Structure 1
């Protein structure tokens, strides 16, 4: 039984939301960040990069305190306001390719995460969890929701559709040509229906935001231990989430690029590949796989199709069926010697949202020697791996939607 609650979001004013909203800090190039910081005083990037006004890189606790200061200044200057009563928030995105995403921003339970009612499919890195926990504890807010997914549900869909007949509280288009909308769900009957509907769901699944979830759990433990009057209902017992129906998720693959052949010649590498794959040279014709356990490879100016010889591979678990795991266990680890997918600097990942020609250009630039493409994982694979208590290799999925930071903010 999942616990989802409305909350009092801190939000930009209607006239400034398009200026405040930003992508995640890491998604910008340095030039893009600097342009926004130079020319847009309302960008949320000013909050998360507080040292920019001093032309200085600031890190650690000193940065966290300055982030808190910048956030307070935005509130003092009435760039942000806080809703007077708890609400759910319908967030809709129509992207540049006219894909539509509808979800509900809400507070999800840390206890549900701890008890594996909110399930994960990726491992997290303990040091990153602790760093983000310390950040949250100092700044006192979170501006990036965890993306959770749930089975399609008529009751929730009907409330979303009904509310979207009204004028949106926010409507703005970004320079990325995505249009974003926000509606407030304030009616007690709708809030009760949404709360009860989620309460009847046995599980939710994390689609994106595993480190944010884990950090929220650590934060909850810290603040719980410091609060002698802890009740379990304090805001730190919850984390901001964006809940979206499974049918509206878009899952893309992450393709792999490798810098060398682990000391092998091209011919030696292909011979070793032949043990576990049926190989066909496609020449200059780009090859995009369309089936599970089929891969594309670009090497030395030519495309290849790789079809797994299933008699040479053990499908023991749901994880073994995942193409990212197949590639790791048959090529990356045994042939190319890559054992640590998170930290080995020889491997690089690019989103499969860009076509296979993007992979080709990376190899042609001589920065990498070989690239591998695959089909995306499915929502059912992701759920089964989570249900089985297993975890995917890093960068197994690139999941949309990606909502903007600073549109709804959750305070602890």
Structure 2
């Protein structure tokens, strides 16, 4: 049984919403970031980059304390304020490619602990601990974990009805996106949504494994140190964006490798031939058509790689995953890439970027070879999570990417 809870979000005033909302920090170029910080005093970036006020780079726990100070300043200036009542929040994003819609709500740490909320990616303990300390100091979270659920007609109907009303926010961005947000405050509608989620045995983390793991660590620490723990304290929940499977967009990550691990081009192709049927496509861009097919760019030419059936043995759902096959058959044994997270010889480009970028970066000499594949499907992600397996790093690039600062969850 899955759970979904309303909460009292801290939000920008209507007039400030488009100015406050920001993309993820790492998504900005240095020039964009400086422009936002110089010319938009309302940007949420001022909260998460508090040292800019003093033109000084600040890190560690000192930064955490200053993030909290900037956050409190935004509240004191009435740029941000807390809703009087608990609500569910509908967040809709229209882009040039598609429209997605979901519910921002509080998810249960207990569901995460009991594997009702299932995960498919590994996390790094050091990052979990760092973000837990960050949450503990600042006392809020502004980046929802993406949780996906099977399409549900009843939930869709409730959302559609709520969106007939005037949104709390509606603003455009320089990326030609329209962001809209509505509140669901009617107790009966909230109860009906909760009843539908109670019928779902499982939810899946689409994006935000470290955020959810850190929230769990914070909840466990807070619970253990609180003799009056009831289970209703804010630390027992974490902000999430509940989105139906049909609203998700999943893209692939391409792999770029800096060298051929000491092999000549000819030696490398001969080694690949053991596991793959190879066809030289010349300057014709090749895109895989089905699973177990890969595209490769090497020395000014595109290649198609088809996995030989004699080298394909299914042992579990992970063994069928293209990202895992590429690692097991090429990256590790031939190119010597053993640690996909730490090896400096590998870089990733998500599939929303054109293959021309791969060609450009290989042609420049920065990289020796690039590989691409089809995107992972949601059913593959769910099956791997159900089997308690872990996908290789950078197996999926998932959208939507939400704006920070529109809803904030306080602990």
TM-score with structure 2 setting the length: 0.99
Q: Tell me the distance in 2 between the aligned counterparts of 1:12 and 1:355.
A: 36
Q: Tell me the distance in 2 between the aligned counterparts of 1:316 and 1:357.
A: 35
Secondary structure of 1:18's counterpart equals helix
Is 1:10 paired with 2:10? Answer: yes
Q: Tell me the distance in 2 between the aligned counterparts of 1:50 and 1:254.
A: 32
> What does 1:11-410 correspond to in 2, within 5 Å?
11-97=11-97, 99-410=98-409
Contact 1:299–1:363 at 8 Å: present in 2 too?
yes
Q: Give the CA deviation at 1:187.
A: 0.6
Deviations 1:112-152 (A, max 9, x none): 00111000000000000000000000000000000000000
Contact 1:93–1:100 at 8 Å: present in 2 too?
yes
Deviations 1:164-196 (A, max 9, x none): 111111001111211100000011110100111
Structure 1 moving runs of 4+ over 3 Å: none
Q: Tell me the distance in 2 between the aligned counterparts of 1:365 and 1:147.
A: 37
Contact 1:143–1:406 at 8 Å: present in 2 too?
yes
Secondary structure of 2:398's counterpart equals strand
Q: Give the CA deviation at 1:355.
A: 2.2
Q: Give the CA deviation at 1:199.
A: 1.5
Contact 1:287–1:356 at 8 Å: present in 2 too?
no
Bigger shift: residues 23-32 or 155-164:
23-32
Q: Give the CA deviation at 1:357.
A: 1.7
Deviations 1:255-282 (A, max 9, x none): 0000000000000000000000000000
Q: Tell me the distance in 1 between the aligned counterparts of 2:175 and 2:44.
A: 16
Q: Give the CA deviation at 1:358.
A: 2.0
Bigger shift: residues 309-318 or 145-154:
309-318
Bigger shift: residues 26-35 or 115-124:
26-35
Secondary structure of 2:15's counterpart equals coil
Structure 1 stretches lacking a partner, 5+ long: none
Q: Tell me the distance in 2 between the aligned counterparts of 1:399 and 1:162.
A: 27
Secondary structure of 2:91's counterpart equals strand
Q: Tell me the distance in 1 between the aligned counterparts of 2:338 and 2:222.
A: 37
Secondary structure of 1:121's counterpart equals coil
Q: Give the CA deviation at 1:17.
A: 0.6
Structure 2 stretches lacking a partner, 5+ long: none
Q: Tell me the distance in 2 between the aligned counterparts of 1:20 and 1:157.
A: 29
Secondary structure of 2:371's counterpart equals strand
TM-score with structure 1 setting the length: 0.99
